[in-house]
Structure 1
Amino acid sequence: MRNPEMVIEHRGNTGCFSQGSFNQLLAVMKDRHIPEGAHLFWEGDTSDKIFYLKQGRVKITKTTDEGKELILYMYQTGDLISQADPFFGTKHSFSAEVLEDSDVGVIDHHDLELLICQHCDFAIDFLKWMGAHHRITQTKFRDLMLYGKPGALCSTLIRLYNTYGEPHGEDVVINKKITHTDLSNMIGATRESVNRMLSDLRKKGAVDYAGGLIVIKNLEMLQGVCHCELCPKEICRI
């Protein structure tokens, strides 16, 4: 077991945890290595654990009755992955697929409940994390419902910009390979319609491609299309 007093830098969606609370969470984790293509859990599995992504990437998907895959979240190093209601013995309503070889910390709900019961500071930090998780979900639904597919696509590009963007001169490169199929699955559109919308944005100078990666050239134009409310980056993320 790790010393709960040790200091480890943490990133991702766990920024709402104090260092002390985060170390308490680290102390009860069981380390696992998950290979690319495996699943942390499947839709319909009992939700009795939460996962901390120490290294790697995971996508959360929902499959429709027609067999179409919708990408709900893309998690990366430093993120905590959990059902939104972790204490009711519910079934997972989505699947978690590992996109690259990943190191994961697994926390049983029993251990999490003990931390919450025994440490009020940890309980408050965990409530903050749950609140941020709900805000991310709400803002994604807002973007999808209010401004059509172009607004949803521009919002998704902004979220990718905030999550994976790296400065490259005056532009920002999204340093993860995102295919048109991925984008279509993120916004519930067809691949063909995503192709057309991206082509239009490229003609207007908002985006481009370099080495197969998406380049954001005019963030303000994307923000205008989706009526961006300038949410903090910990909320406006993929």
Structure 2
Amino acid sequence: MSIQGIFPIEKWDFKSESILADLPGEDLKLLMARKLEQAYKKGEIIFKEEAYPSGIFYIARGKAKKYKLDKDGREQIIYVANTGELLGYHAILSGDNYPDSAAVMEDSIIVFIPKEDFLETLRQSDVLNRRLLKTLSHEFVVLTNSLTLFAQRSVRERLALQLIVVREKYKVDFEPGMPVEINMSRDDLASLVGTARENVVRMLSEFKSEGIVETRGRRIIVLDVKKLIKVANFS
């Protein structure tokens, strides 16, 4: 089912796919003048934290995770990006190295846009400037909410909320009433929630017994998103 009207998804999900949507033709042509399109296999790294940013990346097809590594080399996923979204532009705008890493979560097609073309388009396009400013402002709200989530919510509530958010990214040809299938490893889900893998496995089993989800291997099928919203404690 759709969650419009029953859950404020905009408070938890970036919307960078709107940056290039219906961008004026001349702006899009300038931006994509020297684009490089490349196929990535599941798990391949797009860019690494602290690397020099030579450009930005557009997800033409697939999904990618943005993450940081702790001192023990464990991933903490910050965000899951979907088809149509941009990656890497924060480093270009700030003039710093990449603040995090990105890797594809499934076989994907990624378009590389050189830094010079991105900045030149930014100089010439009022539309792109306004959209980036709006997106960055929205991302600040999302990140603030996420910090509050980790500080104030239980692991069970965090898992429920992340399943709600990730469910939106896995909708394909969605019709009201259709179950949504999430294809994500338990390790990635645990990293996104900020807990141990065994906790995610145990709680998914609980959700399954409560009729909220069904599992088929690594796939999670959300059967009752209303119950998930109730568990997440966001009515």
Bin for the TM-score computed over the shorter chain:
0.7 to 0.9
The equivalent residue for 2:215 is: 209
3-state SS in 2 of match to 1:66: coil
- 1:187 to partner: Cα distance: 1.2
Closer, same or farther: CA 143–25 of 1 in aligned 2, 3 Å: farther
Contact 1:61 1:72 in 2 (8 A): yes
Contact 1:144 1:151 in 2 (8 A): no
- 1:46 to partner: Cα distance: 1.9
1:13 to 11, 16, 19: 16
Q: What RMSD over aligned residues (CA atoms) do the two structures have, in Å? A: 2.6
**2:21 pairs with 1:28:** no
Q: Separation in 2 of the partners of 1:142 and 1:154?
A: 15
Contact 1:17 1:126 in 2 (8 A): no
Closer, same or farther: CA 172–45 of 1 in aligned 2, 3 Å: same
3-state SS in 2 of match to 1:62: strand
Q: Aligned residues, how many?
A: 217
- 1:75 to partner: Cα distance: 1.9
1:172 to 168, 179, 204: 179
Contact 2:36 2:113 in 1 (8 A): no
**2:225 pairs with 1:222:** no
Give structure 2 stretches of 5+ with no counterpart. 1-14
The equivalent residue for 1:232 is: none
The equivalent residue for 1:3 is: none
Q: Which amino acid aligns with 1:19?
A: D
The equivalent residue for 1:107 is: 113
Q: Which amino acid aligns with 2:27?
A: Q
Contact 2:91 2:99 in 1 (8 A): no
1:91 to 83, 88, 97: 97
Q: Which amino acid aligns with 1:91?
A: N
Q: Separation in 1 of the partners of 2:65 and 2:186?
A: 16
Contact 2:30 2:121 in 1 (8 A): no
- 1:33 to partner: Cα distance: 0.7
- 1:190 to partner: Cα distance: 0.7
Q: Which amino acid aligns with 1:27?
A: L
